[in-house]
Amino acid sequence: MASIYQRDNSRFWWIKFVDPESRKTRRTTTGLKVGVGPDTRNAKQLEAEYTLREKKMGPVIGENSWLWVTGFLASRYSPAAQERYLSAWRTLALFLAEKQILSPRQLRRQHCFDYLDWRMKPNKRAGKYRAGRNTSILDLKTLNIIMQEALERGLCDGNPCVKLGIRRDQPKVKPELTTEVIEYIRERIRAIPDEAAREFHHYSFEIARYQGCRLKETSLNPLTDVVIESQKRGRTTVKRGYITLTGKGSREYACELHPELIPLFEDLRARGRDYTWRAPIPSARSWASSRWFKFFRRIGLKQKIAGACFHSTRVTVVTEMARNNVTQAKANAYVNHSSTTTNRIYQRLRPKLDLQECTHAVGQIYASNRVTSPLDKTTGNRVGLLA
């Protein structure tokens, strides 16, 4: 059985395994650092994969095992989506190895329910961190995709992950950022000593604060993704801009550019700069979100405002539109159809916005009857009903 271990005078995890060709025990470094959470997770996944390979050694190594999964996910999804699916698979592989589920044919429906409890209990030594119910359900959706492919390949007789009936918890609404908090964030961004870090936080925050877009969408090319026009309105010339953002699934969408962002993009375009910010590593999503998480924690915002995060900029934009009577359809279009966010915010604020005329109308009906009792004392009819 393959196993990872620490070696004296080495920063990396080492792995011991049986070579499938020579059938001899080998030891080699994984190149993954000890004490680094993601590296430990990857090392444990490697251990699980080598263990599965050893248990299925024979003339057709891995034919009915899980060894094909990583390649399948990598070929099926874009680099951005791969990160999430492969992360889910790393944890699923730990579970399958622990439960001795060596092939798709051995997976049962009960295993899916067992995974929920197993996933929500942390084991840092194994590289498994605590996850909420919704994250666990998302992992099971990944397993469903994998099992469906296994079914197509003839590696199992059915897919036990279908129609589990497990409901997600309603996620908490992220807090809105007040004007004072926004100014505080800007002040702390200006105080960042490193120029590259300061630019990353400045550009991503300002674009998200006014456009309500996702963090990854703030990384764009000002030269090709932004159009700024001058329009005549009587004797006045006004500037109007349009911005093209890349949303989920690498789908592009055009949107009105907020006037407050026009000077920012004019400056970038004048300097010939073809990017707002770039991640130093391919996994831009995790790099950028991690930087913002650490920034909010460093400036004390997470301690002061429960749930505060970069997504709060999106919530703030939608809330401002709702309070100013922008229709929900237009709000969806402006933030690229964020139906979950807009629905919850608009439903929360709707009584303050849309239903006053209803309460006024009801008040007028009762005032016209001029009675205080549920029954009209003269006619015996109930209030509001025609005689």
3 state SS of 36: coil
pLDDT in the model for residue 282 = 54
Global pTM reads: 0.66
How many C-beta atoms lie closer than 10 Å to residue 148's C-beta? 14
Confidence band of 17 (pLDDT split at 50, 70, 90): confident
pLDDT at residue 375 above 50?
no
Would you kindly state where each structural domain of the chain is located, as residue ranges?
3-152, 179-351, 359-387
Write the DSSP symbol of residue 130: -
pLDDT in the model for residue 18 = 78
Most confident among 38-52, 226-240, 252-266 (mean pLDDT): 252-266
Residue 81 token pair = 């989506």
Residue found by looking up tokens 């809330």 in the block: 319
What's the whole-number mean pLDDT along residues 59-77? 73
What's the whole-number mean pLDDT along residues 242-252? 86
- Answer with the residue of higher pLDDT: 185 or 55: 185
What's the whole-number mean pLDDT along residues 329-333? 89
- CA triple 131-135-139, angle to 5 deg: 115
Q: Do residues 202 and 189 make contact, with C-beta atoms less than 8 angstroms apart?
A: yes
Q: CA Rg, the chain, in Å?
A: 28
pLDDT at residue 215 above 90?
yes
Confidence band of 365 (pLDDT split at 50, 70, 90): low
pLDDT at residue 386 above 50?
no
E strand spans, the chain: 3-6, 12-18, 25-33, 226-233, 236-246, 252-257
Among the listed residues 178, 214, 383, the one whose alpha carbon sits nearest the alpha carbon of residue 292? 214
Exposure on the CB side of residue 86, measured as CA atoms within 13 A: 21
pLDDT at residue 312 above 90?
yes
Most confident among 35-39, 74-78, 129-133, 191-195 (mean pLDDT): 191-195
The span from the CA of 29 to the CA of 40, in Å, is 13
What's the whole-number mean pLDDT along residues 145-156? 93
- Answer with the residue of higher pLDDT: 283 or 74: 74
pLDDT digits over 220-241, tens only? 999 999 999 887 777 787 888 9
> Which residues, other chains included, contact 42 with Cβ-Cβ below 8 Å and sequence gap of 6+?
30, 32, 90, 127
pLDDT at residue 264 above 60?
yes
What's the whole-number mean pLDDT along residues 369-387? 46
For domain 179-351, the CATH class is mainly alpha
Q: Do residues 94 and 44 make contact, with C-beta atoms less than 8 angstroms apart?
A: yes
The span from the CA of 367 to the CA of 383, in Å, is 11
Report the percentage of the chain scoring pLDDT > 90: 40
Pairing type for strands 236-246 and 252-257 reads antiparallel
Confidence band of 382 (pLDDT split at 50, 70, 90): very low
